[in-house]
Amino acid sequence: MRIQIIIIFLLISLAGISQSAGVKLALLKYNGGGDWYSDPTALPNLIKYCNQNIKTNIYPEPSTIEIGSPEIFNFPFTHLTGHGNIILSESESMNLRIYLEGGGFLHADDNYGLDEYFRREMKKVFPNKEFVELPPSHSIFHQKYDFNEGVPKIHEHDLKPPQAFGLFIEERLVCLYTYEADLGDGWEDAEVHNDSAELREKALKMGANIIAFVFGQ
């Protein structure tokens, strides 16, 4: 009964989320030793860009919440990043699953070194689901901005192509995982990585597409 109540509440909350004043986004804090706190200026900069360019009404500062917290149900969009290990307990896995099944969305951005741990832990959340690579034709790449080659490459690590993977519940994309792209680094303040204005703009446009897709979905 508690699970059903949470799901119903989340669906009602998210139904009018794009019309709400001061919608908040959340950065997920996790255990395991990985640096969940990396890219501290990324989400605030993305929020500012979205409010200015795609006319969202998102609260300027994201909240930081733990994956197992009931507070997760207050946020239509959650973001996870880092370089290292992540460990989800059974209760955290269940909480995240209920959140995603009930209408929430997770964007995970590999900041380099997160891949094997994130994939392993998401198997706890959805044991019977697999990540599917999103083709460049997917609508997430064609919101306000067109990315005809799919997710853009922001930082180079292992000479691998950037990829975007999704987990779906029926037809709904509930988790976007961006790999070898490093979008979050491109959202950071210019002086953090000394990226060109053009590269940062590309990352922010892709981020705005993600936000637009989530609110539209």
Instruction: Assess contact for 77 and 38: CB atoms under 8 A.
Output: no
If one looks up domain 2-216 in CATH, what number appears? 3.40.50.12140
**Rounded distance between C-alpha atoms, residue 161 and residue 205, angstroms:** 19
DSSP alpha helix (H) spans, the chain: 2-15, 42-53, 90-101, 115-125, 183-187, 190-193, 197-216
Instruction: Kindly give the confidence (pLDDT) of every residue in the chain, 217 residues in length, as a single tens digit, with 9 standing for 90 and above.
Output: 444 444 444 444 444 444 445 799 999 999 998 899 988 999 999 999 999 999 999 999 999 999 999 999 999 999 999 988 999 999 999 999 999 999 999 999 998 889 999 999 999 999 999 999 999 999 999 999 999 999 999 977 777 899 999 999 999 999 999 999 999 999 999 888 788 999 999 999 999 999 999 999 8
